[in-house]
Structure formats: structure tokens, C-alpha cells
Amino acid sequence: MQASFHGIPCWYELTTPEPEAAGAFYAGVLGWEMVDAGVEGFDYHVAKAGPAMVAGMSKPMMPGIPPHWLIYFAVSDCDATAAAIVADGGQQVVAPMDIPNTGRFAILTDPQGARFGILQPNDAEGSGLDPTKPGHGSWHELMSSDPVAGFAFYAKHFGWEAGDRVPIGEGGDYQLFRRNGADLGGMMGLPMPQMPPVWLPYFNVSGIDAAMAAISAQGGAVTHGPMEVPGGGWIIHGTDPQGAYFALTGPR
């Protein structure tokens, strides 16, 4: 039986060659406070939005890995979920292993190649993340070579349900997905055929225009937007100074 938190986004992790510089960038854009995780033998930095821990940053574990964000989804059984995903056509990137005082995690891909993490938390009461608060992850977007198959895959393993389907012209439809009655994100086809399938995290901000100015002032770049979305919110896509792709959402 799946726990109520199974399939809920629970962590965001940036792999970057310069965690300190990246931390300063996101602190300027999102107001994060960066602290050392205090893990012996592992250089891991934690981002805090107020008292809540909202994201982590670390250097690549091996050469050649480009800067990127990774979304983790909470699961009730890490080993069983990882095994089921691999049996269903996914790939295992990092085998299940323990994180002291945190839980058990693994990194996988879906059958189309989009990478994500899973985490079986020690604390089943919740992560403390709130998608309505500035600085917290608020939306999760899958760009896939086969979003229909992608939805079926994640619905099977994470218990997601279909939300609204929004036509987006030549790009097909934007399929919202939800868990426990709350929308978590959306899925769409690839904007460009040569683009690899990828998960994109959106972080909440109190004002899109101020965030755009901060991105430019901190050495990043706005690559898309601002664009109004249903519900009256606005979104932008951008890259940080090290090249990691991210997105923001908020009022204007």
C-alpha cells in the first residue's frame, strides 16, 4: 500500500562545478540562505528559505556531467519502487543507498530518458516544502519525446492522476498531473526535436519582474518569458551562471 506522500515532489538538487558561486546566485534571485550540510567527506550545500530546507547543491560525482537540476519524488519503499521502474523500462543511474539521518534514495530515468530521483524519507510527516511560498519548488514540468507514455509510466509508479489537458498549438497538449487532489505539474512534448527529455523545476517567487532583474544582475540569463499562464501567474525560464536550466513562477 502506498503512503499518502508517495509520488509527492520532496527535494531539488543542483549538480554544479561551483556550488559556492551557484549558491550566491540563487541567494540573490530566490533569497536562499546557503549552509554546509555537515556531511563528513562530502561537500554538500543546503539552501534554506526561512527555516525550511528546500534544495541541495554539490559538485559532479564524475567528470563530464553538465550542470543540472534534479527533482526527487518521495516514495514509501525506495528499493521496491526502483526495481519496479527498471522492470518497466526505466534505467538505474544510482542504486538505492542510505543518506544518514535522511532516508534512502536512488536516481533513475523513465523509459524516454528523463532523469529523476526518489527518496524514502525517515520522517514520514513531510518535507516542510510549501509550493505557495517564495523560494520553494512549486511546479514540475516534464518535456518528453512521448508525454502520453510518460504520463502512464508515472501514474503507475507514483499514483498520479490526470488533471486538465491544455492545448498548446503545434506542440500538442499540456497534460497536468495531480496527487491527492493537488496539481503538481505538467507534461508536454519536446520543444525541439534534438532536445533530450528532461524534468524542469519551477521555484516560486514573490514577483517575476524583480526576479528577472536579479537573474541579470547575478550573471544569469532569462531564456524564455515572461509568459502569462492560466490562473493569472507568470513564468520565466533561465540559466544560472554555470549553465543549469531552471524556471520561476509568480505574480507580475
Query: How many structural domains does the chain have?
Result: 2
Quick one: which of 157, 68, 166 has its CA closest to 110? 157
Asked if residue 35 belongs to a domain, the reply is yes
Q: Which three cell numbers stand for residue 105?
A: 534514495
149 shares a domain with 117? no
91 shares a domain with 156? no
97 shares a domain with 32? yes
pLDDT tens digit string along 70-98?
Answer: 999 999 999 999 999 999 999 999 999 99
Quick one: which of 219, 203, 223 has its CA closest to 22? 219
Where are the extended beta strands (E) located within the chain? 9-15, 33-36, 44-49, 52-58, 68-74, 91-99, 103-109, 115-121, 137-144, 161-167, 173-179, 182-189, 198-204, 221-228, 234-239, 245-250
71 shares a domain with 33? yes
Q: What is the pTM of this model?
A: 0.95
Asked if residue 152 belongs to a domain, the reply is yes
Asked if residue 41 belongs to a domain, the reply is yes
166 shares a domain with 114? no
144 shares a domain with 44? no
Asked if residue 4 belongs to a domain, the reply is no
Q: What local confidence, expressed as pLDDT, does residue 28 receive?
A: 97
Query: Which of these three, 121, 149, 172, is where a domain ends?
Result: 121
237 shares a domain with 158? yes
Domain at 62, CATH number? 3.10.180.10
116 shares a domain with 23? yes
Query: Which of these three, 64, 86, 121, is where a domain ends?
Result: 121
16 shares a domain with 43? yes
203 shares a domain with 159? yes
Query: Which of these three, 121, 150, 184, is where a domain ends?
Result: 121
226 shares a domain with 170? yes
22 shares a domain with 97? yes
| pLDDT < 50 stretches in the chain | 1
Range of the domain at 234: 137-250
Cβ–Cβ < 8 Å for 96, 104: yes
Q: What local confidence, expressed as pLDDT, does residue 232 receive?
A: 84
Q: Percent of the chain beyond pLDDT 90?
A: 80
Asked if residue 20 belongs to a domain, the reply is yes
Distance (Å) of CA 48 to CA 65, 120, 129, 237: 25, 21, 10, 22
